[in-house]
Structure 1
Amino acid sequence: MEPIDLLIGRPSPRLQAAEKLAAASQIILSQPEKSDCALTYGPDHGEDEIREHVATWLSQKYRPSSGPVTRERTIITNGASGGLAAILQKFTDPLYTRRIFLVDPTYFLAAPSFFDAGFGQKMQGIPEDNEGISIEFLQLRLDEEESKHASTEIGVKLPDHEYKKLYKYVLYMVPTLSNPSGKVMSLHHRKVLVELARKFDILLIADDVYDFLAWPTDNNLSHKGLDLPPRLIDLDRQMPGTSEWGNAVSNGSFSKLVAPGLRVGWCEAMPRFIYAISSYGPTSSGGCQSQYTSFLIDHMLVSGILEQHVNDVLIPIYRKRYNALVKAIKTYLYPLGIKISTGVPYEIAVKDEEGNYTQTMLAGGFFLYIEYPTDDTFPEVMDIVRLGKNEYALDIAPGVIFAVQGDPESLKRAEMTYKRGTRLCWAWNEEEVLVDAVQRFAKIIHQAKESIR
């Protein structure tokens, strides 16, 4: 029995654009005017021309109502993880920043970055609701923090240098096609978050890494030309009252679109915010941390190869895998009481074959979340995990790993809710493997049920 991993969250090797990258590399290295720049230390922000191309591409994809994205709003990073580390280094301080909030269930591999930045005791989960985040819970926690600090000063002076901005709070989330839940945050909740961020001095860190891997739930409609949900930075720029620093940053990555090993990404925010990130220590030491690979991405971007790869290769394959996984779950797991956790579907506009806009729902990304029944006749989570690994060669993650580690309340919430479930990824396995995995899953449940009778 071949092992199957349903936890792994990366594209399968055949979807990594190796041949396209090889061609791009050959072109870059054969042109001295390109290779000389690509192979040396780059500007801290990344090459201006590359930033310009990324900004134009983002403008075309998001079509922000507040106006086109400009070069000054972008910086080239070494991926979303590197971007997150730089943001925390420049705009937070464990003695000044009061809380790090994370939407839970959360992307479990983001947590170490907050721990390493010194926030282990200050991390707190904010539960997800059907629209992406519980606004009421967040408001309550903010009011508690403000009350706690009302009669005392923090006592920490802001650093005396050019970049004098630290945020009192941070909220980390994946608002569109979330990891791990797959949910899309509602427009209403996005707007309220921006309002709260301005009121309480919160930095909204959005991992916008799955936005361009989206498609309509209606299989008769094309995925091209979707109206994507406005990002938090778009709303922060659009809504009256934005500040010179802003209260949101978009953290993006080409890892999901080309290949994870490239380690190329971008951040977009207010120009002053972006300029501050460029002074991040490792960048100041050696310039752009993805100098060579950013040239490869730039070639793919300008030539149209990137869009072709995403639109004609990735999305069609992911869409088929997603449909196969959903069908298998409904066929084999729904009769056992296991359901897909969806939240409120996000409505989008897309053109039909006649060129007219029609309304449908958004799907995509890498993940969906399934929930187990809560009755006593259903097997324990860890029994399912152990049986899957030991007898069916199936890797299933216990839902508790998506809790905010270090926050007892988050762990307690997990026990009552999403611990009884798991994240499933369709990006790594082929369609037939996904169906096989779900069939094994069903057998695991049947066997575990027999053992507790």
Structure 2
Amino acid sequence: MMKSIDLLIGRPSPDLQAADKLAAASQIILSQPERSDLALTYGPDHGEDHIRRQVGAWLSQKYRPGPGRITQDRIIITNGASGALSSILQKFTDPLYTRRMFLVEPTYFLAVQTFLDAGFGQKMRGIPEDDEGINLEYLRRQLEEDSKAECIPDAGAPITKFASQGYRKLFKYVLYVVPTLSNPTGKTMSMHHRIALVELARRYDMLLIADDIYDFLAWPGDDDIPHEGLELPPRLVDIDRQMPGLSEWGNAVSNGSFSKLAAPGLRVGWCEATPSFIYDLSTCGATMSGGCQAQYTSFLVYELLFSGMLERHIQNTLIPIYRRRYRTLVKAIKNHLYPLGIRISTGKPYEVSGTDSQGNRVPTTLSGGFFLYIDFPSDDQFPSATEIIRIGREEYGLNIAPGEIFAVKGDIGSLERAESTFNLGTRLCWAWNEEAVLTEAIERFAKAIQKAKM
């Protein structure tokens, strides 16, 4: 029987999880009573100060933000990006007062349920992606039309959460986006779009929730340039902080996680935003009841950061292996799928600088993350994506995502757009499988397509 191959799963393969480093960190912490006592009890709601400082210092070194170093009052320790997303919605949105919940489409399909759970099923709208990461004009029209629509004035608007109950700031609009090396398409939002997006957010009282999950798994598009010293795009939260007119609450929050860097089971991450935003985020009910939601695991992460073990793991293990797997997948696609009319959907390359082998700064483009998207031909003679995926699953043991799962649930327009855009293709992940398996998977994929064409 043919062994199945999963190209949908989006996680590190087990051999890339930092088990040995976490074991060393655990031994250090648990062997010192003064540290283990703190690690094993309820912690401060926002996380231990020394851990927040260490995360801020690490982020400052990685991003080199224009506004200056990232201080601990801008950081909260979370139980991962998924949990943090839920907490953000709980604290800063209201299912009646918040007018629209925008998601860039194709979207990260597993995040959609969090918005549904928060009561926004009827208010969710997809914003199409363009070659620079988001169709700004489409978003602008949506905001303009909605803001002009007849509604009850804000002073008397229906609301379920009140300032007297601890909800000091509610946003009228929210946009969920993965700006850098996005899930599912792997595109990186242009600098122009990032600035314009922050400007729109300020104008319409919109919160930008940015999943900055894949930023540190980046490498130069030029294979001859080492990945060390690669420039990273400024996050939306960096741009918001640097632009004149920053409000007390800001209009962007950076949602980060150690799941893709150390191990998904750690369930620890961070959020960065203005101090007021971070403080209020620490007052969610579950956090106030139990303290920091990643107390023990955050101590492990601190040890990995302080010792440099995590950075060495990223630079010496993760990026080199992912870079090879990515190159292998791309080569296989070009060898076996390009002759069938399929193409990689890359978008506009994001230009950055890297350091060549002689130590000189040189221009390059940004690659990395976990995913790429392939587009099928749109002509009537080509088999449907549904049929290709069915044959791939039933006859060739391939688990591949139908493009339609990346539509925004609750938005009929998103489902309709999917039929003529991203449903004519699929997301592929290179993080889970080794190189030989990736090559075999694409060979099987090509056979499934040829079978569907018969």
TM range (shorter): over 0.9
Moved more, 217-226 or 239-248: 217-226
1:160 pairs with 2:164: yes
Rounded to whole Å, the distance in 2 between the matches of 1:344 and 1:184 is 8
Partner of 1:90: 91
> Which residue of 2 is the match for residue 57 of structure 1?
58
1:269 aligns with 2:273: yes
- Aligned pair 1:178/2:208, yes or no? no
In structure 1, the residue matched to 2:361 is 357
| 1:410-449 alignment, distance < 5 Å | 410-449=414-453
CA distance in 1, matches of 2:288, 2:55: 22
Residue 104 of structure 1: aligned partner: 105
Structure 2: gaps of 5 or more residues = none
Alignment of 1:132-143 (within 5 A): 132-143=133-144
Cα gap change, 1:35/1:241 in structure 2, threshold over 3 Å: closer, same or farther?
A: same
- How large is the Cα RMSD of the aligned pairs? 0.9
Identify which range, 99-108 or 142-151, moves more after superposition.
142-151
How far did 1:53 drift? 0.1
Distance in structure 2 (CA, Å) of the matches to 1:302 and 1:149: 54
Q: 1:223 aligns with which of 224, 227, 231?
A: 227
Q: Which position in structure 2 is the counterpart of 1:188?
A: 192
Aligned-partner residue type, residue 191 of structure 1: I
- 1:317-351 CA-to-partner distances (Å, cap 9, x unmatched) read 00000000000000000000000000000000111
Secondary structure at 1:27 match in 2: helix
Alignment partners' CA distance in 1, 2:208 and 2:286: 23
For residues 415 and 152 of structure 1, what CA distance do their matches in structure 2 show? 38
Partner amino acid, structure 1, of 2:450:
H
Counterpart Cα distance in 2 of 1:73 and 1:226? 25
Letter in 1 for 2:229: G
Query: CA–CA distance in 1 between the matches of 2:152 and 2:78?
Result: 40
Q: Which residue of 1 aligns with 2:116?
A: 115
Letter in 2 for 1:48: D
Structure 1 residue aligned with 2:74 = 73
Task: Tell me whether 1:341 sits opposite 2:345 in the alignment.
Answer: yes
Stretches of structure 1 lacking an aligned partner (at least 5 in a row): none
For each residue in 1:5-26, what CA deviation from the matched residue of structure 2 results, as whole angstroms up to 9, or x when unmatched?
Answer: 0000000000011111111111
Q: Distance in 1 between matches of 2:101 and 2:426?
A: 24
Structure 2: how far apart are the matches of 1:396 and 1:353?
A: 38
CA distance in 2, matches of 1:149, 1:43: 44
- Residue 407 of structure 1 and its aligned partner are, at CA, apart by 0.3
Q: 1:225: how far off? A: 1.3
Post-superposition Cα deviations, 1:396-448, rounded to whole Å, max 9, x if no partner, equal: 11100000011000000000101010000000000000000000000001111
In the TM superposition, what are the counterparts of 1:343-422 in structure 2 within 5 Å?
343-422=347-426
Kindly indicate whether residue 329 of structure 2 is the aligned counterpart of residue 325 of structure 1: yes
CA deviation digits over 1:193-223, x for unaligned, max 9? 1000000000000000000000001111111
Amino acid at match of 2:360: N
SS of structure 1 residue aligned to 2:10:
coil
Residue type of the alignment partner of 1:230 = P
**1:41 is matched with which residue?**
42
Q: Give the Cα separation in 1 of the matches to 2:388 and 2:150.
A: 45
SS at match of 1:11: coil
3-state SS of 2:453 partner? helix
Structure 2 distance, partners of 1:208, 1:225, is 19
What is aligned with 1:22?
23
Aligned residue type for 1:111: V
Question: 1:258 matched to which residue of 2?
Answer: 262
AA aligned opposite 1:208: D
Question: Which secondary structure state, in structure 1, belongs to the residue aligned with residue 195 of structure 2?
Answer: helix
Q: Give, in angstroms, the shift of residue 378 of structure 1.
A: 0.8
CA distance in 1 between counterparts of 2:432 and 2:440 reads 14
Rounded to whole Å, the distance in 2 between the matches of 1:251 and 1:410 is: 25
Report the 3-state secondary structure (helix = DSSP H, G, I; strand = E; otherwise coil) of the residue aligned with 1:422: strand
Alignment partners' CA distance in 2, 1:162 and 1:19: 42
Tell me how far apart the structure 2 counterparts of residues 20 and 40 of structure 1 sit (CA, whole Å).
23
How far has the Cα of 1:298 moved from its partner? 0.6
The reply on whether 1:314 has 2:318 as its aligned counterpart is yes
Letter of the aligned partner of 2:133 in structure 1? Answer: G
Of stretches 373-382 and 74-83 in structure 1, the one that deviates more from structure 2 is 373-382
**What TM-score do the two structures reach when normalised by structure 1?**
0.98
* Residues 344-401 of structure 1 deviation map (CA, whole Å, 9 limit, x = unaligned): 0000011112221100000000000000001111111111111111110011111000
Give the AA of the match of 2:157.
Answer: G
Question: For each residue in 1:113-163, what CA deviation from the matched residue of structure 2 results, as whole angstroms up to 9, or x when unmatched?
Answer: 000000010000000000000000000000111011467556235432454
Tell me the amino acid that sits aligned with residue 93 of structure 2.
T
Give the partner amino acid of 1:187.
M
